[in-house]
Amino acid sequence: MSTNPMHQFEVYRIGPEISLGSVNLSFTNASLFMLISAATILLLLFLGTKKKLLVPTKIQLITEMSYSFVAKMINDTAGSKAKPFFPFIFTLFMFVLFCNMIGMLPYSFTVTSHIIVTFILAAIVFIGVTIIGFIQHGIKYLELFVPKGVPVLLLPLIVVIEIISYLSRPVSLSVRLFANMMAGHTMLKVFGGFVISLGLLGGWLPLGFSVALTGLEILVAFLQAYVFAILTCIYLNDALNLNH
Amino acid sequence: MKNFKEISARLEIAKKKIEKNITKDKSSNAASLGKALKIGTELVASVVVGTLLGFILDGWFDTRPWLTISFFFMGVGAGILNVIRSAKNMNKKKDMENN
């Protein structure tokens, strides 16, 4: 049995090796769990919208709740102009949420604990928001980097600082999700290892910690998906309504 | 038809209960924990991005280490700016909720 707490993050190949030129495109356990999350979401939404009852069943209730939760979040943070982007933000929220939650199951793999996954998600948001900003405002979108009422002497410095602050968005977005998921799962594994090594006599305390941490991790899993989605809304708001 | 009336009466009661709960624990919801977790990474990310940008530009202009150093400090400035901005946003939202 492996007691290395980082062992759970290992990516390995399932099935044959597929490569396209010099790029390795093999099917890994990460791809498997992404597919499982996507399939679970599709199944939930399919079952929830199959029979539209006046008094909803539990699955229909969950589906409707997640819909209205995301719709309210977009309306509150980005306004009614952001309504066309609902499908994207809903997909993003559900995917991150289900990746996090499925990662909480024993013997599963947490896709979002790898920075490349979260960084690609954040990069899609970042590039998309930048393109939307330029489509909406044209070259005037660059005014985002020039705050009003700054002395001309300070302007070069402020513009550089604003550009750094804009470029830091995808980094902070991806690192937050990745760091929270990885730290939490490592901690769970470390306390699990303590239970084994301390045995029947002293293992009860770390076991209690493990149980408490699992609860905390489920909260964090939801919260990080929420933060990811709400920050996407905030960035979208910046691009749609150009104001500081 | 009687069934519908009963359901709507029960819905009204349930809605009132929900409203009561919302007004009670508005200050201690999970969203504020999310905001708290958000701020820390915002500060760090700007510093990292600034330093990295300086390092890359140093490579282009062959001026190591001066751009790295100056961009590091500008990254710190950007990080502080980010934190102040998100804190301001939170205050604005809170004021709107109170009014």
Is A1 within a domain? Answer: no
Which of B37, B41, B79 lies at the smallest CB-CB distance from A223? B37
pLDDT grade, residue B24 (50/70/90)? Answer: very low
Domain range annotation of chain B = 32-99
Is A151 within a domain? Answer: yes
Assign B9 to helix, strand or coil.
helix
Query: Rounded distance, CA B86 to CA B91, Å?
Result: 9
pLDDT recorded at residue A4: 83
> What is the value of pTM for the model shown?
0.84
pLDDT recorded at residue A81: 87
Q: Is the pLDDT of residue B65 over 70?
A: yes
pLDDT recorded at residue B2: 65
Query: Rounded distance, CA A198 to CA B49, Å?
Result: 43
Cα diameter, chain A: 70
pLDDT digits (tens, 9 = 90+) for A30-64: 999 999 999 999 999 999 888 878 888 889 999 99
DSSP A140: G
Which of A77, A161, A243 to probe by mutation at the B interface, max B CB count within 10 Å?
A: A161
Q: B3-12 long-range contacts, Cβ below 8 Å, gap at least 24?
A: B7/A54, B7/A55
Could you tell me which residues are beta bridge partners of residue A13?
A28
Is A15 within a domain? Answer: yes
> Which tokens in the block code for residue A55?
């008094």
DSSP A13: B
pLDDT recorded at residue B21: 61
Query: Rounded distance, CA B78 to CA B71, Å?
Result: 10
Question: Which residues of chain A, if any, have pLDDT below 70?
Answer: 1-3, 243-244
Q: Which domain holds residue A215?
A: 7-240
Identify whether B65 is preceded by a cis peptide bond (ω within 30 of 0). Answer: yes
Number of domains in chain A: 1
Answer yes or no: do B30 and A219 touch at CB < 8 A.
yes
Is A2 within a domain? Answer: no
Backbone angles phi, psi at A11, to 5 degrees: -100, 130
Answer yes or no: do A164 and B38 touch at CB < 8 A.
no
Answer yes or no: do A168 and B71 touch at CB < 8 A.
no
